Amino acid sequence: MRYLVYGAGAIGGLIGGLLSAAGHPVTVVTRGAHREAMASRGLIIHERATGRTDTIRVNAVLPGEESGPYDVVYVTLKAHQIAASAEHIASLRAKDGCFVFVQNGLPWWYFDGLDSPHAGKRLLTLDPQGTLARAFPNETLVGSVIFKPCDLVAPGSISHVVAATDRLVIGEVDNRRSSRLESIAADLGPAGLKTEVSADIRKAKWTKLLSNAVWNPLCALTQAGAHQIAAYPPARDLAIAMISEAKAVAAAVGVPLDADPQKIVHDMVKRVPATSSTLADVRAGRQLELDALCHAVIEIAELTGVPVPSLKNVTACAGVLDQRIVEDGVAYRPVPVR
């Protein structure tokens, strides 16, 4: 299969690099110094725990320089970045190909392909104009969620830590098990990223979202690591309340989660210090990924009548920060996370 990775930052770069190293025909699309570094010297992948560093030759191109069509298009842009490039990305798929959307948070097609009272409802916070639904028909979609700590530490250089929990989870919109899911997993798993075929991709997304909807906005607002927030009693109580609310929203749409909010927060104190992606965006002066992580959860809460006061309040404050970044070009300089 011919692969395209559109938006090859940390996660996209890692996927493209692993597939390239395994001998698959891969093109990665990105811009600026990151693309220039990969095109000139290759992609550097550094594993922090062992110190192993690999330099991988990749075919890195600018948007518009692709030589499609492609059988599998990994879309690894952030959720709020997809609409601007949707028509172009859609044109790159082979006739029987598919798009694997690797984003955090909930997808615009959440209620499609489900036996649900809300079947077919579009999440307006994620696709207000129907742009994504028109560009990417459901039969072309593969949903996914990735559990993989990974950072773009310099142009053309990715740092990661191998953990037992590392995996990419993929699934069809209608939850059926398909041959294309098996083919995707058969290539990426042996290349170095465990790939799990799920019969409930929405549950996998909610599992990660219990953390993303909480720690991402809190880290952005406090300029702190999640472990520091979890260690501070008043903030710890707030995080527990937010996780409990998100869990209740998931249950309201038929996704019961076996998760203990108190344990999640307690365990966070012991985690290795890390900078959340949203905090990294604050420090770089980039738009925050709030729609898929927070606003969509609140939209579903309102649809199902689940009260989410803590999520609403924290998201409102993070939204003000996001507005300052977008409208005023404000960036907040790095404060070391210890």
pLDDT-derived band at 336 (thresholds 50, 70, 90) equals low
Residues 6+ apart with CB under 8 A from 117: none
Percent of the chain with pLDDT over 70: 97
With a cut of 60, say whether residue 151 has pLDDT above it.
yes
pLDDT tens digits for range 172-200:
999 999 999 999 999 999 999 999 999 99
**What's the pLDDT score for residue 338?**
54
**What's the pLDDT score for residue 88?**
97
My answer on whether omega of the bond before 273 falls inside 30° of 0, hence cis, is no
pLDDT tens digits for range 94-104:
999 999 999 99
Cβ(144)–Cβ(169) below 8 Å = yes
pLDDT-derived band at 274 (thresholds 50, 70, 90) equals confident
**What's the pLDDT score for residue 158?**
94
CA atoms within 13 A on the CB side of 239: 32
My answer on whether omega of the bond before 69 falls inside 30° of 0, hence cis, is yes
SS3 137: coil
pLDDT tens digits for range 23-45:
999 999 999 999 999 999 999 99
pLDDT tens digits for range 105-139:
999 999 998 888 898 898 999 999 999 999 999 99
Q: What is the mean pLDDT of the chain?
A: 93
Describe the strand order of the beta sheet including 43-47 as a list of residue ranges.
53-56, 43-47, 157-160, 150-154
pLDDT tens digits for range 313-326:
999 999 999 999 99
The candidate with the shortest Cα–Cα distance to 144, out of 80, 85, 99, 211, is 99
What is the rounded distance in angstroms from the CA atom of residue 169 to the CA atom of residue 103? 11
